[in-house]
Amino acid sequence: MKKIIIYFFIFIFIIFLLPALLTKKNAEASSVNTAEAENKEQNNEEQAKNQNENANYTYNKYGTIKLLHKKTDEVEEVNIDDYLCNVVSAEMPADYEEEALKAQAVVARTYTIYKIENKKHDNADICDDSSCCQAWISKEDRFARWEESKRESNWNKIQNAVNSTKGEIITYDNKPINAFFHSNSGGTTEIPVNVWGGTGYPYLQVVETAGEEGYAQYASEVELTNDEVLNKLKEKYPDIQIDFSNQEDIKILEYTDSNRVKTVKFGNHEISGVEARTIFGLKSTNFEIIKEDGKIKFSVKGYGHGVGMSQTGANTLAKEGKNYKDIINHFYANVEIKDVNSI
């Protein structure tokens, strides 16, 4: 009798309840897929609309810039967004997320216009030397360094980043900012006063960015013998004297708020972390000093001066789902993204 009752309930479940449950599950799945499809379609429509608007965009000013090629001393007049494609392709890897590339495009455009407004070159608006202005590479040279199968897709991706943000710049107090950027902050950005001195900029503050340790630029080491350390310092300080057996003769004395080296002692001289970075060829001022077996090892975090937008940090945020405006507002405080024609 018990078996008959069990079989009866199994029969009821199979005939009536199971189809109902499957129908509900399929309906829920269908609803989710429909919502995703609608969102995707909406995003595509918005993107198409923006592309159409950007295709017709005209710069009231700055549409053409004078670019100085430092190696040849030639000045070339170029369309600003064509120029920016060369800049973005030189400054950021093409395999970074699209929103990170868009952020880089807006930052580079802002930096360019800031340079135009604050001229450094008598006969040009900006140059192609990264140690002076920002990096630039010709399309031909860029293609030569990419795998052949990726050249067109990489270039199209960069063009889209530039053209989809056409005319957009970062402003503070309705003026273009000095939009510094660097490769990897080591987890925390720096304020410009600790790098170049001066009074700094209110929009460039210390901010944290997680996830940068996953990039090759995050960690590096420079190892030198005691004699090499001494000889490098002698080039700048001929009277330098260091007792390498004395632990107090090589010592970090002070850190900045972003945990970078502010002041470091080498024997009878105290120098800035920025100067130590230059003398010893370090990738950033975020370093530790390790003394062992007649050698000095500098263990370094990050790559670059650390001011403004971290490129690996931007890519990390993009992977987390942040858009280019979110990324910009993370790295620059109290700024607005505006159409350059409106300022």
Judge contact between 125 and 119, C-beta under 8 A. Answer: yes
Structure tokens at 332: 């620059």
pLDDT score, position 200:
87
Residue 317, pLDDT above cutoff 90? yes
Q: With H, G, I as helix, E, B as strand and everything else as coil, classify residue 158.
A: helix
262 within 8 A of 273, measured Cβ to Cβ: yes
- For 296, which DSSP code? E
Q: Could you tell me the residue ranges of all domains in the chain?
A: 64-213+306-342, 219-301
Summarised one tens digit per residue, pLDDT across range 17-71 is: 555 555 554 545 455 455 445 544 554 555 555 555 677 899 999 999 999 999 9
Percentage of the chain with pLDDT > 90?
81
Mean pLDDT for the stretch of residues 90-96: 98
Residue 5 pLDDT greater than 70, yes or no: no
CA separation (Å) from 336 to 101, 124, 174, 333?
A: 19, 28, 8, 9
Compute the average pLDDT of residues 145-169.
97
**Surface-to-core class of residue 45, CB atoms within 10 Å of its CB (0-12 exposed, 13-18 middle, 19+ buried):** exposed
Q: Is the pTM of this model over 0.95?
A: no
Quickly count: other Cβ atoms within 10 Å of residue 41's Cβ: 10
Residue-wise pLDDT for 225-281, tens only, equals 999 999 999 999 999 999 999 999 999 999 999 999 999 999 999 999 999 999 999
The rounded distance, in Å, linking the Cα atoms of 103 and 163 is 12
Residue 106 and residue 98 in contact, taking contact as beta carbons nearer than 8 Å: no
Kindly provide the residue ranges of all beta strands, DSSP E only, lying in 89-227, ordered along the sequence: 126-127, 168-172, 175-176, 181-182, 219-225
How far are the Cα atoms of 41, 93, 101, 148, 158 from residue 140, in angstroms, in the given order? 36, 16, 20, 12, 15
Dihedral (C-alpha) 85, 310, 341, 52: value to the nearest 10 degrees?
Answer: 50
Mean pLDDT of the chain: 90
- pLDDT at 300 exceeding the cut of 90: yes
